[in-house]
Amino acid sequence: MAEPRTIEMEVLRYHPERDFEPHFQSYRVPFTHDMSVLQGLQYIKDHLDGSLTFRWSCRMAVCGSCGHMVNGVPRLSCSTFLRDYLPGKVRLEPLNHFPIVRDLAIDQSDFLKKLEAIKPYLYPAEDKPVESGEYLQTPEQLERFYPFSQCINCLLCYSACPQYGLNPGFIGPGAMALLHRYNTDSRDAGRAERMEVVNAEEGVWSCTLVGYCSEVCPKGVNPANAVNQNKVTSALDYFLRFVMPRGGRR
């Protein structure tokens, strides 16, 4: 029987009860052609070091739990394959730009606050009773917001964004993508409610169109597009605000 191939996985460790600083720990992991980085982490936890902490859930790129830095690039561990890193090693770190809670687990609370701030729900134009029937939406109307609705809140874009890293006050790509998703949904009339967040210095104006967020997004959300389309919206709002009431018509 052939010896299983192994790969070195170098993982950042941090246990606040014993560590002042994070440090790398190496593990030699046997792997098959189809094994993901997540499966490698699970092997480590199951067979080599049960103390390793990391988040995961669906194993199929819909839950957004398993985001990590893999050799310096934000990736979903479940959709990243060990075979692609040969002949070198796989270096795993928690997602950039977030505080490390323990090992590979980060503190996402800042993003959750941002998410709440953009009002991620449909604002109806009027109070429609249930009897009046459902909203009708054409395929074209759906296409307008559909890509932005694919966000799984995985935070890879926040890890990719140097402006968020330099200033965590920045609303960030993911929250802006979701804001844009609601603004461009034909059923929504809440654009005016969301403009304050957009117009702030830490709204769209902290973005310098690095564009790495759209590059790393596993779902094709294109958050850079959401942010930068809203720069135009914000600028129009700024210059036309005395001519047109804030928000205006959609």
In angstroms, what is the minimal distance from the CB of 109 to another protein?
6
Place of tokens 């246990």: 15
In angstroms, what is the minimal distance from the CB of 4 to another protein?
32
Residue 80 engages another protein in binding (rule: CB under 8 A): no
Q: Is 24 left (phi over 0), alpha (psi -120 to 50) or beta?
A: beta
Question: DSSP assignment of 90-133, as one string?
Answer: EEEEPPTTS-EEETTEE--HHHHHHHHHT--S---SS---GGG-
Q: How many residues bind another protein (CB under 8 A)?
A: 47
SS3 233: helix
Taking CB under 8 A as the rule, which mask of x and - marks residues 108-147 in contact with another protein?
Answer: xx------------------------------x--x---x
For another protein, the closer CB: 121 or 238: 238
Contacts of 2 (CB under 8 A, 6+ apart): none
Binds another protein (CB under 8 A): choice among 11, 29, 78, 100: 100
Residue 192 engages another protein in binding (rule: CB under 8 A): no
Binds another protein (CB under 8 A): choice among 81, 158, 170, 212: 212
Run of H or E residues at 181: helix 173-183
Give dist(CA 67, CA 69) in Å, integer. 7
For another protein, the closer CB: 192 or 210: 210
In angstroms, what is the minimal distance from the CB of 17 to another protein?
8
Binds another protein (CB under 8 A): choice among 30, 211, 247, 248: 211
Give dist(CA 159, CA 187) in Å, integer. 32
For another protein, the closer CB: 61 or 101: 101
Query: How buried is residue 54: exposed, middle or buried, by Cβ count under 10 Å (0-12/13-18/19+)?
Result: buried
Sign of the Cα pseudo-torsion (63, 65, 71, 72, in order): positive
Binds another protein (CB under 8 A): choice among 48, 232, 244, 250: 232
CA distances from 244 to 185, 200, 235, 248, 249 (A): 22, 19, 13, 6, 9
Residue 215 engages another protein in binding (rule: CB under 8 A): yes
For another protein, the closer CB: 46 or 107: 107
Binding residues for another protein, per CB under 8 A?
14, 16, 21-22, 72-73, 96-97, 99-102, 107-109, 140, 143, 147, 162, 165-166, 196-197, 199-203, 205, 208-212, 214-215, 222, 224-225, 228-229, 231-232, 234-235, 238-239
